[in-house]
Structure formats: structure tokens, C-alpha cells
Structure 1
Amino acid sequence: MKYLPVENNLFTINRKNFVSRLKSASLAIFYANDEYPRSGDQTFIFKQNPDFFYLSGIDQEQSILLLFPDCPNSVYKEVLFLRQTNEHIAVWEGHKYTKEEARLASGIQSIYWLSEYDNILHSIINYANNIYINTNENDRYAHTVPYRDIRMLADLRSKYPLHNYERSALIMRDLRVVKSQTEIDLTKKACAITNDAFRRVLKFTKPGVTEYEIEAEIIHEFVRQRATGHAYNPIIASGKNAIVLHYIDNNQVCNDGDVILFDFGAEYANYNADMSRSIPVNGRFTKRQRDVYDAVLRVMRAATKMLVEGTVWNEYHDEVGKVMTGELIGLGLLTKHDVEKQDPKMPAYKKYFMHGTSHHLGLDVHDFASRYKPFEVGNILTCEPGIYIPAEGLGIRLENNILITKDGNIDLMADIPLEAEHIEEIMNS
């Protein structure tokens, strides 16, 4: 890992909170992510299962975590299994956790090699009535690939068909959405690195540079500061590319007079930042570009004020839609007649602002959370309104990351340039 060690108290507390919600006589099993094939004999860079990391702090493939608080053998109340290294692995792949390193990283005392997993599991599983299995229940995920959790569930059912199987996801959805101070600090670190990358880009951008050159500047700053890399595929969308919401080709020249829409964020210790900005290639907005920019900024500020404890997801987005509608009328993109005759299921503003305003942020960029539960203290959400005008080849999106506290909210990206004048000042300094 590039990032500095994370205090294991975070993971110890997370496990305590998780097991406190288990039914009695329950065993929970968590698996590290698959090593996904890329092509030939290559695999993609390993990315840990966020739930596994949340409970263990272990960032290594093939690992397994058992949590059995009512286990009659106290040694096996929480057990971590690791891939045992050898001379061949050390030569070809490098360092793997030692048992002592894993204890320091996770706070778990009972560490075993994977070769001992089957025997230890079989020695305790029949003292459990319930087996909790973790699956990906993120609303945005559609299951098409039999990932490791699914395969292991099938194997367990075949060996232990009479146990009652439960879903860990119901617990994880409530736990992960409320961030501890350590998680907030890690997110702040990801935001700070993102800030430095954006400022670097502001000084680098000029007519004639390419989107991929800008992308290179971003990853340079990320890796230089120990970030794992991008939190998601970065969007460097100049000119008309900005009206494509998930544009990631990043292969065009940035032309004088155009605006570039950025959407990128650093990943640090598996926690993510998610930022959007829009800047003029030549360092000066035209009047029309500035009018649209300021409209988006006003919507962003109005929406940010709504991100407080108790806010309800659908009501929030409806209210933001009303604010956006007023701005679009002011820009001449909608008329009051358009609004009067609109289909309530597809409001008129959706023609120019077709995505949601916010999503939860954490170990996943679109973090695991209930869309039906009011916002809580400790939630981190994005705030990202945008206006996209195909006829003008112009797209503007602005996005910051907002922490909800008992006293309101805190903008974790308050230090990142946002005002149009500030952006122009830095670009022309």
C-alpha cells in the first residue's frame, strides 16, 4: 500500500459495532475481493472488498475474516486468515503480511494461514445457528458476475445445508453510512490531495493541451502524495465532450474558448474524494459561460444548505429541482410555459440537468446507504448540480463533498477553488 498505516482502533470499533447487531449464535464470514482477470495471464490491480477492509483493515488478496462472538472457543471469536508467503511469492509478487503485521493492521489477535481455514471453520461452524454472508447489495449494482462471496455461499450451502443463512449487508448498510472521525480524516486527506491536483491543473491548462496531458498531471500529483490513484475513472471533458455525463476517453485537444468539465478525485487508504469543476481553457469565461457557471453555483449553494440531519432523499432532490428550474428560466433555456405543461414524472429541468444532485461517499464513491433513510449526522454526501446544453456545446458541473454534523454541515472541499474569479485568478497568475 502507498498510504500510511491506519490506526487499527478504527477496525476494532467497526467489528464491535457489527457483532453487536448479530443474532445470538451467529457466525459471520467476510471474504477479500477476487483478483479479476484482465487478459492472458494478467489481472487488474487488486482492489479490496470495502466491507472486508471496513472490518479488518487488511488490504491483501485471498484473505478471510470470521466473526463468531458466541463461539465456545474464545480463540475463534474473531479470526483472520491470510495467504502464506513463500520464497517464490516473495520473488515474483513482493512482500505479504506477516502474522504480526496483520495483528498490528487489524487489531485481531488470532491470525492463521489460509491452509488452516477449512479445518478451523468446520470445528466451530456447527456451534452456530446462523451464518451471515456478505453480498453486494448496492442499489446501483446489477449482479451479473459470480463474485467470490456468491461462490463461497454456494459452497457453504452444499456443505452445511441446515444452517440459517443471513445477510450481513443489512447491517453494513446502516454502519458504513455513518462515518467515524478517523474515516472523516481519511476522506479529508483524499480531498486535500484532490485540491492540490486541481490547483496543479489550473496552472497547467492552456489552449492546445490535450485532455490526456491534464489527466497525467492529476495522477502525478495523486501518486506523489501516497494516494492509491483515482477514486474512479477521471473525466476530463473539454468543449462538447462535457455534455457526455460519463465521458472518459480524455483524448481530445482543449481549444481556445472552450470550457473543460473535470470530475475526478483521489483515493487514499480506500477512502474517496469526488470533485467536479469547470474551467475556461484560456483562463477567462465568456459572458454566457459565466452566466451558466454562476447559475450552477447558486444551485449548489442552495442544495448544500439542505444537506442536514433529517433531510429526506426524494424531497431533497425535488427541492433542488425547483431551484434549478428557476435558474434555467433565467438562462432562457426554459419558459414558464414549459414548466406549466411539464410531466411531473419527468420535470422540464431534466432536459438540462438529468442526474441526481447527491450521493453518499466513503469506501465506495457511490457509497453503500439506504435511499429511504433520512440523512444522519456522520453522513458524507456529494453535492453536484450541473447544466448541460448540447446546442451550445457547453457543460458545467460543480461538486463538493459535504459532512453532516449535529450543528449543520461542513464542506470538506471548502479549500478547493470554486468561485469563477478565483479560478481565473489562479489560471492567469
Structure 2
Amino acid sequence: MKYHPIDKNLYIKNRAKFASQMKPNSVAVFNSNDMYPVSADTTLPFAQHRDILYLSGVDQEESILLLFPDAPYQHLKEVLFLRETNEHIAVWEGEKLTKERAFEVSGIKTVYWLTDFHKILKEVMSYADTMYINTNEHYRASVETETREARFIKWWKENYPAHKVEKSNPILQRLRSIKESEEIDLLQKACDLTEKGFRRVLSFVKPNVMEYEIEAEFAHEFIRNRSKGFAYTPIIASGNNANVLHYIENNQQCKEGDLILLDVGAEYANYSSDMTRTIPVSGKFSPRQKEVYNAVLRVKNEATKLLVPGTLWKEYHLEVGKIMTSELLGLGLIDTADVQNENPEWPAYKKYFMHGTSHHLGLDTHDYGLLHEPMQANMVFTVEPGIYIPKEGFGIRLEDDVVIQKSGEPFNLMRNIPIEIEEIESIMNA
């Protein structure tokens, strides 16, 4: 791994929190992700399943975590199963975790090779009444590929039909949404790398540069600072490309007078940052661009103040909609008649701001979190309003990542990333 070692006490705490929510005499199993094939002998780069990572710190394929808090024997309460390493694997693929190193990473004392999994599971299931299966129930999930986790669940249900079934996901949705201090530090590190990349780009951008060249500047800065790269597919959208919300081609030339919407974030130790800034190709905003930019910035700042403990998701977005409506009226993009005659299901402001304002952030860019439950301290959210005006040839979105505090306004993890017009123009013209 490129990132520095993480204190195993984080994973010890995470497992203890999960175990405390399990029903008596129950077992939970978590699988690594597959190595996904491309063609011939090629695979995509490995990305660990976030749940086993959250509970163990093991960032390696073909790994299984078993939790059995009420096991009759101490060595079965927490068990890791790893692919057995050897000299041949070390030469061809690089070192894999040894049993000793797995303990240093996870704090789990009982480590078996994967070949022993079915034998140990059979013993464990003879003691247990209930199995926690780990299904993907994220509100944005749309999974067509059968995952390693899904194959295990199918196999387990066929082989142990008499056991009761519970779901791990609701527990993990709550636990993962509230960050430990170590996790906030890792998120801050990811945001700091994003800052480095953005400052590099501010000094690089000029008329006629290609969008993919800007993407390359970000990638260079991220990887040289121990990141694997982007936390998600980057959006480098110049001119009218910014009005395509998920534009990822990044293959157009940036023209003088246009704006570039940069939706980019570095990952660090599998934790995501998620930043959006909008900058002028020529280093100076036009009067109209400034007017719209500052309107978006005001919405972001006001929306941020609403992210406090007890806030409900739907009510939050209703309030942000009111703030945005006021700004669009001021810009002359909508009028009072538009507001009076609006469809409550699709308010007038949605013509220019059609997406949500915030989402949970953490190990996933769109992280776990139950949206029907009130916000709590140490949840981390993005704040990302935008105004998109195809007729005027530009779109503006601004986004920061913030941590909800017990009292007062959220703590901005991107507080050091330039966002005010004057600072952006100053750096670009230095």
C-alpha cells in the first residue's frame, strides 16, 4: 500500500461497535472484493470491499473476516482468513500478509489460511443460531455483477438453511456514518492532497490547455503524495461541458473566456475527498461569471450552517431550495411568477440546480448513512450547490467537505482550498 500504516486500534474499536449491535449467539461474515477481469489475463486494479476494510484494516484480495462475539472459545470470537502466501507469490505478485503482519494491521489474533475457512465455519455454525449476511443496501446502489459477497450469501443459505438470518448493512450504515477521530484525520489527509492538486492546477491552467492535461496534473500531485489517485472518476468540464452533470470525457480544449468546473478528489488510505471548484481559463472571471459564482458561494455557505445535529435530510434540502430560489431571483434567471406557479414536486429553482446539495462522505465517496435519521456529530458531508446555465455557456458548482460538530457550524476539511474569487485570480495570475 502507498499509504502510511494505520493504528490497529481503529479497527479494534470498529469491531467492538459492530459486535455490540449483534444479536445473541450470532455470527457475521465479511468478504473481500473480487479481482475483476478485463480480458485475457488482465484485471482491474484491486479495490477492497469497504466493510471488511472498516472492520479489519485488511486491504488484500481473497480475505474473510468472521465475528462471533458469543463463541464458546476465545479463538473463535474474531477470525481472519487470508490467502496463504509463499515465496513464489512474493516474487510474482509482491508480499501478501503473513499471520503476524495481519495481527499488526487488524489486532486480530486468530488468523487462518483461506483453505481452512469451510472447516472452521462448519464448527462455528454448530454453535451459532443466527448469521449476519452483508448485502449492499446503499440508496444509490445498482449492482449487476455478482460479487464475492453475493456468491457467499447464496452458498451459505443453501448449506445452512436452518439458521436465522440478520442483515449487517443497517448496523454498518449507522456505524460508518459517524466517524472516529482517526477517520477524520484520514479524510483531512485526502482533502490536503486535493488542495495540493488544486493549487498545482491553478498555476497550470491557461487558454487552449486540454481538459485531460489538467486531469494529469491532479493525478501527478496525488500519486506523488502516497495516494492511489482519484477517489472517483474526475470531472474536468470546460465551457458548456459543465452543464453535463457527470461529464467525464475530459477531452476538450479549454478556451479563453470560458470557465472550467473541476469536480475532483484524492483518495488516501481508501478514504475519499470530494471537491468542486470552478475557475476561469484566462485567469479572470467576467462580471456575469462573478455574479453567478458569488451566488453559488452564498448558497454553499448558508447551506453549510444547516448541517447540525438533529437536522433531517428532507427538511435540509427544502431549506437549501429556498436559499437557491432567492439567489436565482436575484440573478434574473427566474421570476416571481415562476415561483408562484411552480410544481412542488419540481420547484422552479430545479431548472438551474437539479441535483442534491449534500451526501455522506467517508470510505466511499457516496458513503453509508441512513437519510431518514437525524444528522449527528462526526458525520461528514459534502456541500455542493450549483447553477447551470446552458444558454450562457457555463455552469458553476462549488463543493467542500465538512464534519458536523456537537455545537456550532461544521468544521470545513477544505478550509485551506482557495474558493474566493480574489484568491483564485491572484494565484492564477501570479
In 2, the alpha carbon distance for the partners of 1:95 and 1:289 equals 52
In 1, the alpha carbon distance for the partners of 2:34 and 2:308 equals 37
Point out where structure 2 has 5 or more consecutive residues left out of the alignment.
none
Aligned to 2:46: 46
Instruction: For residue 4 of structure 1, report the CA deviation from its aligned partner.
Output: 0.3
In 1, the alpha carbon distance for the partners of 2:34 and 2:192 equals 30
In 2, the alpha carbon distance for the partners of 1:137 and 1:371 equals 12
Q: Which amino acid aligns with 1:179?
A: K
Aligned to 1:88: 88
Aligned to 1:130: 130
Aligned to 1:157: 157
In 2, the alpha carbon distance for the partners of 1:202 and 1:412 equals 20
Q: Which amino acid aligns with 1:426?
A: I
Instruction: For residue 77 of structure 1, report the CA deviation from its aligned partner.
Output: 0.7
Measured against aligned partners, the alpha-carbon deviations of 1:156-199 in whole angstroms (never above 9, x if no partner) come to 11111101111000110110000010000000000000001000
Mapping for residues 203-242 of structure 1, pairs under 5 Å: 203-242=203-242
Measured against aligned partners, the alpha-carbon deviations of 1:400-423 in whole angstroms (never above 9, x if no partner) come to 001011122111100000101100
In 1, the alpha carbon distance for the partners of 2:311 and 2:273 equals 22
Instruction: For residue 228 of structure 1, report the CA deviation from its aligned partner.
Output: 1.7
RMSD in angstroms over aligned alpha carbons? 0.8
SS of aligned partner of 2:179: coil
SS of aligned partner of 1:230: coil
Instruction: For residue 90 of structure 1, report the CA deviation from its aligned partner.
Output: 1.8
Instruction: For residue 92 of structure 1, report the CA deviation from its aligned partner.
Output: 1.9
Measured against aligned partners, the alpha-carbon deviations of 1:185-230 in whole angstroms (never above 9, x if no partner) come to 0000000000010000000000011111100000100001101210
Q: Does 1:413 align with 2:409?
A: no
Aligned to 1:118: 118
Instruction: For residue 265 of structure 1, report the CA deviation from its aligned partner.
Output: 0.4
In 1, the alpha carbon distance for the partners of 2:205 and 2:292 equals 21
In 2, the alpha carbon distance for the partners of 1:376 and 1:35 equals 36
Instruction: For residue 40 of structure 1, report the CA deviation from its aligned partner.
Output: 2.2
Point out where structure 1 has 5 or more consecutive residues left out of the alignment.
none
Aligned to 1:361: 361
Measured against aligned partners, the alpha-carbon deviations of 1:137-169 in whole angstroms (never above 9, x if no partner) come to 100002322211111011111111101111000
Aligned to 2:264: 264
Q: Which amino acid aligns with 1:132?
A: Y
SS of aligned partner of 1:279: strand
In 2, the alpha carbon distance for the partners of 1:77 and 1:4 equals 28
In 1, the alpha carbon distance for the partners of 2:97 and 2:199 equals 37
In 1, the alpha carbon distance for the partners of 2:317 and 2:273 equals 22
Aligned to 1:183: 183
Q: Does 1:18 align with 2:39?
A: no
SS of aligned partner of 1:229: coil
In 2, the alpha carbon distance for the partners of 1:92 and 1:337 equals 68
Instruction: For residue 95 of structure 1, report the CA deviation from its aligned partner.
Output: 1.1
Mapping for residues 159-174 of structure 1, pairs under 5 Å: 159-174=159-174
Aligned to 1:427: 428
Instruction: For residue 35 of structure 1, report the CA deviation from its aligned partner.
Output: 1.1
Q: Which amino acid aligns with 1:419?
A: E
Aligned to 1:28: 28
SS of aligned partner of 2:326: helix
In 2, the alpha carbon distance for the partners of 1:100 and 1:227 equals 26
Aligned to 1:279: 279
Aligned to 2:192: 192
In 1, the alpha carbon distance for the partners of 2:69 and 2:160 equals 20
SS of aligned partner of 1:405: coil
In 1, the alpha carbon distance for the partners of 2:348 and 2:76 equals 58
In 1, the alpha carbon distance for the partners of 2:35 and 2:136 equals 16
Q: Which amino acid aligns with 1:326?
A: S
Aligned residues: 429
In 2, the alpha carbon distance for the partners of 1:164 and 1:236 equals 49
| Identical-residue share of aligned pairs (%) | 57
In 2, the alpha carbon distance for the partners of 1:398 and 1:21 equals 38
In 1, the alpha carbon distance for the partners of 2:8 and 2:41 equals 35
Aligned to 2:295: 295
In 1, the alpha carbon distance for the partners of 2:417 and 2:225 equals 17
Instruction: For residue 135 of structure 1, report the CA deviation from its aligned partner.
Output: 1.3
In 2, the alpha carbon distance for the partners of 1:120 and 1:160 equals 14
Aligned to 1:2: 2
In 1, the alpha carbon distance for the partners of 2:124 and 2:173 equals 27
In 2, the alpha carbon distance for the partners of 1:98 and 1:393 equals 56
Q: Which amino acid aligns with 1:217?
A: E
Aligned to 2:253: 253
SS of aligned partner of 1:236: strand
SS of aligned partner of 1:257: coil
SS of aligned partner of 2:146: coil
In 2, the alpha carbon distance for the partners of 1:383 and 1:105 equals 33
SS of aligned partner of 1:100: helix
Mapping for residues 278-427 of structure 1, pairs under 5 Å: 278-408=278-408, 409-427=410-428
* Alignment TM-score, normalising by the size of structure 2: 0.99
In 2, the alpha carbon distance for the partners of 1:421 and 1:89 equals 54
Measured against aligned partners, the alpha-carbon deviations of 1:53-97 in whole angstroms (never above 9, x if no partner) come to 000000000100000011112111100010112233222211111
- The more displaced of 136-145 and 42-51 is 136-145
Instruction: For residue 324 of structure 1, report the CA deviation from its aligned partner.
Output: 0.5
SS of aligned partner of 1:355: coil
* Alignment TM-score, normalising by the size of structure 1: 0.99
